[in-house]
Structure 1
Amino acid sequence: MKAFVAGATGETGRRIVQQLVDRGIAVRVLVRDANKAKDLLPASVEVVTGDVLQGNTLAAAIGDATVVFCATGARPSLDPTQPYLVDFEGTKNLINAAKTQGVEQFVLVTSLCVSKLLHPLNLFWAILVWKKWAEEYLQRSGLTYTIVRPGGLKNDDNSDAIVMSNADTLFEGSIPRTKVAQVCVEAALATEAKNKVVEIVAKPDAPHKSFGELFSAIG
């Protein structure tokens, strides 16, 4: 397996990169700022400078990677077009390039509650709407996929157990970004995770289960 990570210098993306490196998996990352990447990411990763909005450059950027991880996301901005451009158009460009390159699996990080139109996050330029459109585009693409919908993201890790549920069944809760990264990487390794949408949070009173058990329970 060779991994390609978009959004690699973000809080979740760089944790995905670290999980991959820790497993000895070759990693190529797409970043807009190569100097920032050198400061934040392990020295062993291959850095490609680019942007998901530049669709005609992405197939070459992906190259011979077999799995694509998409952890991009619009940053808070006064520009109402950013969620549409980054969370939908950018992801769509990456999906198209992955299909062109014959990628074996596409792992997409979105969010809980993407199906809830009347959600407070949609006040921020319909951010969940565009994430949901990206999910649907991926599901129609013909690529093998796993869509990971985490709850509220925490930068600090903890010992809470991961709770995994089917699409549109979890509507609250939080989870450390490190656990989100673990789920993403395990999704690329587990047959049981293919072509599934999983919602994840972490709870201190939940039983600890293996990733195989978690993914197998998802319909």
Structure 2
Amino acid sequence: MKVFIAGATGQTGRRIVQELVRRDIPVKALVRNLETAREILPPEAELVMGDVLHPSSFYTAIGDSKVVLCATGARPNFDFTGPYKVDYLGTKNLVDVAKQKGIERFVLVSSLCVSRFFHPLNLFWLVLFWKKQAEGYVEKSGLNYTIVRPGGLKNDDNQFPIVMESADRLFEGSIPRTKVAQVSVEAIFQTAACNKIVEIVTQAEAPEKSLAELFISVS
């Protein structure tokens, strides 16, 4: 099974690539800058040039991939159209091509609190609003999907257990990006993860459960 990942050089995306490589899963990484990608990503990853805003640039590159994993995200800047283009339109383009290619699984990394329009993060060009629109497009696509909504993303790891809930149950908390990567990759293989939105954070006092148990626990 080969995984095609968009957003591979982002802080979360690169950890997803590392997790895929660690598990010996073939991975194709869609990148816009080969030189930068070679510095960031493990050599086992196959790099392909393209841009989620231009479907023709990655239509052929998907090749024999069976899974599409979207970890894109608009970077903070002064372009107010960024979240619309990257978080919504880019995801929409990936979904459309995935349907044409007969992709078996689609995993989207989204964010906690996307359903709260009056969240402070929406002051930054409606970033959560456009992530929510992207989620809706994935849900209606007919693809076999999993949407992962992590809490506040941390670059440093911790050993706290993962807490997983269904949509709009968690509204605060954080999680290391490495654990987001683990959940996103495991979702590919868990039948219980199919066609679900899962929200994830880590909590020191939470009981330790396997990812399989966590996916099963979410309705």
Query: TM-score interval w.r.t. the shorter chain?
Result: over 0.9
The aligned counterpart of 2:118 is 118
After TM superposition, the structure 1 = structure 2 runs for residues 1-219 of structure 1, keeping only pairs within 5 Å, are 1-219=1-219
Alpha carbons 1:167, 1:197 under 8 Å: kept: yes
> Once structures 1 and 2 are overlaid, which stretch shifts more, 36-45 or 170-179?
36-45
Alpha carbons 2:13, 2:72 under 8 Å: kept: yes
Whole-Å separation in 2 of the counterparts to 1:97 and 1:39: 28
Identity %: 63
Whole-Å separation in 1 of the counterparts to 2:23 and 2:212: 17
Alpha carbons 1:6, 1:31 under 8 Å: kept: yes
Deviation at 1:37, TM superposition (A): 0.8
Deviation at 1:212, TM superposition (A): 1.1
The runs of 5 or more residues in structure 1 that have no matched partner are none
Whole-Å separation in 1 of the counterparts to 2:160 and 2:175: 9
Whole-Å separation in 2 of the counterparts to 1:200 and 1:23: 21
Alpha carbons 2:49, 2:58 under 8 Å: kept: no
Amino acid at match of 1:49: M
Alpha carbons 1:112, 1:170 under 8 Å: kept: yes
Deviation at 1:57, TM superposition (A): 2.4
- What's the secondary structure of 2:146's corresponding residue? strand
Q: What root-mean-square deviation, in Å, do the aligned CA atoms of Structure 1 and Structure 2 show?
A: 0.6
Deviation at 1:55, TM superposition (A): 1.7
Whole-Å separation in 1 of the counterparts to 2:67 and 2:55: 18
Deviation at 1:21, TM superposition (A): 0.5
Alpha carbons 1:151, 1:173 under 8 Å: kept: yes
Alpha carbons 1:146, 1:194 under 8 Å: kept: yes
Deviation at 1:63, TM superposition (A): 1.3
Alignment TM-score, normalising by the size of structure 1: 0.99
Alpha carbons 1:112, 1:149 under 8 Å: kept: yes
Amino acid at match of 2:32: R
Whole-Å separation in 1 of the counterparts to 2:137 and 2:17: 25
Amino acid at match of 1:205: E
Whole-Å separation in 2 of the counterparts to 1:118 and 1:136: 18
Whole-Å separation in 1 of the counterparts to 2:57 and 2:127: 25
Deviation at 1:58, TM superposition (A): 2.5
The runs of 5 or more residues in structure 2 that have no matched partner are none
Alpha carbons 1:59, 1:100 under 8 Å: kept: no
